[in-house]
Amino acid sequence: MGKGGGCVPSKKRQPPATTVATAPSSSSATAVPRDAPEEAQDAPTGESSQTLRLYIVFYSMYGHVEALARHAAAGAGAVEGVEAVLRRVPETLSAEVLEKMQAPSKDPAVPVISAPADLEEADGVLFGFPTRYGAMAAQMKAFFDSTGSLWEKQRLAGKPAGFFVSTGTQGGGQETTAWTAITQLVHHGMLFVPIGYTFGSGMFNMDDIRGGSPYGAGVFAGDGSRQPSEAELALAEHQGKYMAAFVKKLGHA
């Protein structure tokens, strides 16, 4: 979970109940409103027997980012010819520290990415992480720092990538967390793919509190007890579908 003003969690926090055991079906949330642009609703046309792989690589301490990751995977899986692959980045905190922070145990069904070189197998990547003072959490930064050999040979150059985030407050870095992460993609020569306003009217709704921005999906975690809303999960599912369609378009170029 991210907290816009810092990274020290409250002792009152409880693990969120929205970490999904399995990826939801594409009908579990409205991925794209009816009035969204047509290009966001339909995957690009083209026939190919090749299965493209969209990696969804994330770090989640309390489950908020993981909930977005699973819904993004569901959205991506709805695009024919694209396979969603969920992976965690390695944890950098000790078990003792995580216990004191009341962090729930990780779901073993989602494996830790074995090596940065695994990203070479991806046709596109969505990275998800909580904020720490308006930038990505140290665990995700440590993973990016371990990709030096890929950078040296530009193995990831040309691959599309996007971000989704979690913050503790509405002013805690929903946009800056993604914005400051773009530097990682630039050095690798990757292509940043924002969602813009392709979610249609869902991007303009002022009646409910909703994380997310034109940069990508997002969730407000509060003190850790707030659960991701249906709107936040739907936006994550839309981002997964949108990115999968983009990957498919590049794959058929």
Close Cβ partners of 143 (under 8 Å, ≥ 6 residues apart):
57, 59, 89, 90, 113, 116
3-state secondary structure 111-180: CECCCHHHHHHCCEEEEEEEEECCEECHHHHHHHHCCHHHHHHCCCCCCEEEEEEEECCCCCCCCHHHHH
Q: What is the pLDDT of residue 9?
A: 41
Judged on CB neighbours under 10 Å (0-12, 13-18, 19+), 105 is exposed
Q: Bridge partners of 172?
A: none
Rounded Cα distance between 134 and 101, Å, is 20
* Alpha carbons 113 and 177: distance in angstroms, whole number: 22
Mention every residue, 6+ apart, whose C-beta is less than 8 A from residue 97: none
What is residue 68's predicted lDDT score, i.e. its pLDDT?
Answer: 98
Per-residue pLDDT of 41-98, as tens digits, reads 444 444 456 899 999 999 999 999 999 999 999 999 999 999 999 999 999 999 999 9
124-132 and 135-136: which strand pairing? Answer: antiparallel
The mean of the pLDDT values for the chain is: 84
d(CA 85, CA 112): 11
pLDDT digits (tens, 9 = 90+) for 112-153: 999 999 999 999 999 999 999 999 999 999 999 999 999 999
For residue 253, name the pLDDT band (cuts at 50, 70, 90).
Answer: low
- Residue pair 230/194 in contact (Cβ under 8 Å)? The answer is no
> Tokens representing 196?
């813009």
pLDDT tens track for 150-199: 999 999 999 999 999 999 888 888 999 999 999 999 999 999 999 999 99
Tokens of 231: 């709107």
Q: Can you give the pLDDT at residue 205?
A: 81
The answer to whether 135 and 180 are in contact (CB under 8 A) is yes
pLDDT at residue 49, rounded to an integer? 66
Give the C-alpha separation, 43 to 46, whole Å: 9
Tokens of 180: 């400051």
Amino acid residing at 96? E
pLDDT mean over 219-242:
92
Who has greater pLDDT, 107 or 1?
107
- The answer to pTM > 0.85 is no
Per-residue pLDDT tens over the stretch 19-46: 333 344 333 333 334 344 444 444 444 4
